[in-house]
A and B are shown apart, each in its own frame.
Chain A
Amino acid sequence: MPTNIIPIFDQRKSSGCASKGSCGSASGPADMAPEVWEKVKNHPCYSEQAHHHFARMHIAVAPACNIQCNYCNRKYDCANESRPGVVSEKLTPELAAKKVLAVAAEIPQLSVVGIAGPGDALANPAKTFKTFELIQKAAPDIKLCLSTNGLALPDYVQTISDFNIDHVTVTINMLDPEIGEQIYPWIFYQHKRWHGRDAAKILSERQLLGLEMLTARGVLVKVNSVLIPGVNDQHLGEVNKAVKARGAFLHNIMPLISDPAHGTHYGLTGQRGPSPQELKAVQDHCEGGANLMRHCRQCRADAVGLLGDDRGAEFSTDKIAAMDVSYDPQPHQAYLEYVEKERSDSAAARDAELAAISAQSSDFGTAKLVAVATRGGGRINQHFGHASEFQIYEVSAAGAKYVGQRRVEHYCQGGYGEEEVLEGVIAMISDCAAVFVAKVGLCPKKDLAAAGIEPVEEYAFEYTETSLLAWFRRQSADVSRQAAA
Chain B
Amino acid sequence: MAYKIIVDECTNCAACETECPNDAINEKKGTFKIDAANCSECIGYFDEPQCIAACPIPDCIVVDDKVPRYVAA
Chain B nearest CB, measured from A101 CB (Å): 25
Q: Which partner residue on chain B sits nearest A72 by CB separation?
A: B56
Partner of A74, one of B13, B14, B50, B53: B13
B15 within 8 A of A: yes
Contact status A191-B53, CB under 8 Å:
yes
CA distance A66 to B18 in the complex (A): 12
CA distance A187 to B47 in the complex (A): 16
Q: Which partner residue on chain A sits nearest B47 by CB separation?
A: A192
Contact status A75-B46, CB under 8 Å:
no
Chain B residue numbers with a CB within 8 Å of A65 are 13, 15, 56
A-B contact pairs, 9 of them (CB 8 A): A63-B15, A64-B15, A66-B54, A74-B13, A77-B11, A119-B56, A126-B18, A188-B54, A192-B53
Chain A residue numbers with a CB within 8 Å of B38 are none
CA distance A421 to B46 in the complex (A): 57
**Which of B11, B46, B47, B54 neighbours the largest number of chain A CB atoms within 10 Å of its CB?**
B11
Chain A residue numbers with a CB within 8 Å of B72 are none
A387 within 8 A of B: no
Chain A nearest CB, measured from B65 CB (Å): 23
Contact status B53-A119, CB under 8 Å:
no
Contact status B57-A75, CB under 8 Å:
yes
Contact status A63-B54, CB under 8 Å:
no
CA distance A66 to B55 in the complex (A): 9
Chain A residue numbers with a CB within 8 Å of B46 are 191-192
Contact status B48-A63, CB under 8 Å:
no
Q: Interface SS of chain B: helix, strand, loop or mixed?
A: loop
**Which of B46, B54, B56 neighbours the largest number of chain A CB atoms within 10 Å of its CB?**
B56
CA distance A188 to B50 in the complex (A): 9
Partner of B56, one of A68, A124, A192: A68
Chain B nearest CB, measured from A364 CB (Å): 54
A193 within 8 A of B: yes
Contact status A193-B48, CB under 8 Å:
yes
Chain B residue numbers with a CB within 8 Å of A124 are 14, 18
Interface string of B5-18 (1 = CB under 8 A from A): 00001011111001
Chain A nearest CB, measured from B54 CB (Å): 5
Contact status B13-A192, CB under 8 Å:
no
Contact status A74-B18, CB under 8 Å:
no
Q: How large, as a class, is the contact surface on chain A?
A: 10 to 19
Contact status B56-A123, CB under 8 Å:
no
Contact status B47-A75, CB under 8 Å:
no
Chain B residue numbers with a CB within 8 Å of A90 are 12
Interface string of A58-77 (1 = CB under 8 A from B): 00000111101000001101
Query: A-B pairs with the 3 shortest C-beta distances?
Result: A64-B15, A63-B13, A193-B53
Q: A65-B56, A68-B56, A193-B53 are in contact. Are A74 and B11 (CB under 8 A)?
A: yes
Contact status A188-B53, CB under 8 Å:
yes
Chain B residue numbers with a CB within 8 Å of A75 are 9, 11, 57
CA distance A66 to B50 in the complex (A): 12
Chain A residue numbers with a CB within 8 Å of B19 are 191
Q: Which partner residue on chain B sits nearest A65 by CB separation?
A: B56
Chain B residue numbers with a CB within 8 Å of A68 are 56
List residues of B (23-71) whose CB comes within 8 Å of A's CBs: 46-48, 50, 53-54, 56-57
CA distance A140 to B15 in the complex (A): 30
Contact status B54-A119, CB under 8 Å:
no
Contact status B57-A66, CB under 8 Å:
no
Chain B nearest CB, measured from A359 CB (Å): 61
Contact status A192-B48, CB under 8 Å:
yes
CA distance A359 to B56 in the complex (A): 62
Contact status B14-A63, CB under 8 Å:
yes
Knowing that A63-B13, A65-B15, A68-B56 touch, tell me 7 more A-B residue pairs with CB under 8 angstroms. A64-B13, A74-B11, A74-B13, A75-B11, A75-B57, A119-B15, A193-B53
List residues of A (180-196) whose CB comes within 8 Å of B's CBs: 188, 191-193
